[in-house]
Amino acid sequence: MILIRTLIVFLLTTASFYGGAQFVTERSIPTKAIGIEVSELGQVYLQFPQRIELLDQNWAVKYSFSERRISANTALDVTKSLKPLVYFEEFNLGVLLDNTLSQQSSELIFDWNRFGQVSALCHSIGNHYWIFDVAAMQLIRADYSLQEVQRSADLSLLLGVSLDPVYMVEEEDYLYVLDKKLGLYVFDLFGTFSHRLDFIGFDSLQIVEQRIYLFSSEQVVSYNKLTKAQTSIKLPYENVLDVRIVGSSFLVLRKGELLQIKMAKKD
């Protein structure tokens, strides 16, 4: 909660996100990581080919999970920091970890006959998962034993488009499904379509209280769910793989480097 309050104060006291912003580098480390996630507690996770690392406050490795199937296509959901969820799309299976990145139980096998072609997987409240079957174009909600709780209708018929999620996350009773070419689609906990936000060209997102942050290799966009206000900033770096927000800082993962940066104060 302290990190979230700090972030809100930061956003209210700065002018806005804008192109040409000046940044101060707070710290950086060399890394070969290909992905980054931040939990609700501000914990930083780095994803590498064949392993995932949880860093401590000094960015030293605290825990790690090694698995030869981890790749750039592997999804990591840390919205429940006590139960990080790893999904291997190429194999249609997942793994639930604990807070030390140890595997909790047997692998989650998403049988084709029951779940189809699972292109996205994430946590849901009450010990459930959200599953996106891209073949049937359906959202499926299942419990931790993979018993189906509910299933949406064919979303391609409802929406008039075929979604190809690049990122999916549940936050505060809503499921956010990000398609890089079509935008951000929002559903309720019954899998019912709520609304669409016209954010095109983004690779991932992060939700902090009332703000949705969307990230690409070139920019960060902040969208206020209450006021609908939208601000953006152009990133002053090349080779950006992903970005996350922690406290009042940006974590920028580039090829070969992780930086923690902050907007410079105006004189």
Q: Would you state the structure tokens that stand for residue 76, as one six-digit string?
A: 């990591």
Element (H, E) at 199: none
Domain ranges for the chain? 1-30+208-267
Question: Could you give the 3-state DSSP secondary structure of residue 126?
Answer: coil
Question: In the structure encoding, which two tokens stand for residue 24, read together?
Answer: 């101060």
For residue 146, CA distances in Å to 131, 136, 204 come to 10, 18, 26
User: Could you read off the pLDDT of 68-99 as tens digits, one per residue?
Assistant: 999 999 999 999 999 999 999 999 999 999 99
Q: Which residues pair with 199 in a beta bridge?
A: none
Distance CA 242, CA 254 (A): 7
Whether the predicted pLDDT of 13 surpasses 60? no
| Residue 63 confidence (pLDDT) above 90 | yes
- Above 80 in pLDDT, residue 5? no
- Give pLDDT, residue 22: 82
- The strand order across the sheet containing 148-151 reads 118-124, 128-133, 138-143, 148-151
pLDDT for the residue 267: 55
What pLDDT shows up at residue 105? Answer: 86
The upper half-sphere exposure of residue 174, i.e. CA atoms within 13 Å in the direction of its Cβ, equals: 17
pLDDT at 38 over 50: yes
CB hemisphere CA count around 183 (13 angstroms): 9
Q: Please check the confidence at residue 7 and state whether its pLDDT lies above 60.
A: no
In this prediction, residue 247 carries a pLDDT of: 87
pLDDT at 20: 57
Contact (Cβ atoms closer than 8 angstroms) between residue 211 and residue 11: yes
Please list, in sequence order, all residues whose beta carbon lies within 8 angstroms of the beta carbon of residue 140, skipping any fewer than 6 positions away.
115, 130, 131, 132, 133, 148, 150, 151, 152, 191
Q: Which fold has domain 1-30+208-267?
A: Thrombin, subunit H (2.40.10)
Number of residues assigned to the chain: 267
Are the CB atoms for 132 and 121 separated by under 8 Å? yes
pLDDT over 90, % of the chain: 85
Residues contacting residue 222 through CB under 8 Å, at least 6 positions apart: 11, 17, 211, 212, 213, 230, 231, 232
pLDDT of residue 10: 37
Mean local confidence (pLDDT), 121-133: 97
The pLDDT score that the predictor gives to residue 264 is 76
Can you tell me the mean pLDDT for 113-117?
96
Of the candidates 85, 42, 48, the one whose C-alpha atom is nearest the C-alpha of residue 64 is 48
Predicted structure pTM score: 0.90
Residue 115 in this model has a pLDDT that exceeds 80: yes
Q: In the predicted model, what is the mean pLDDT of residues 159-165?
A: 98
Would the pLDDT of 8 be above 60? no
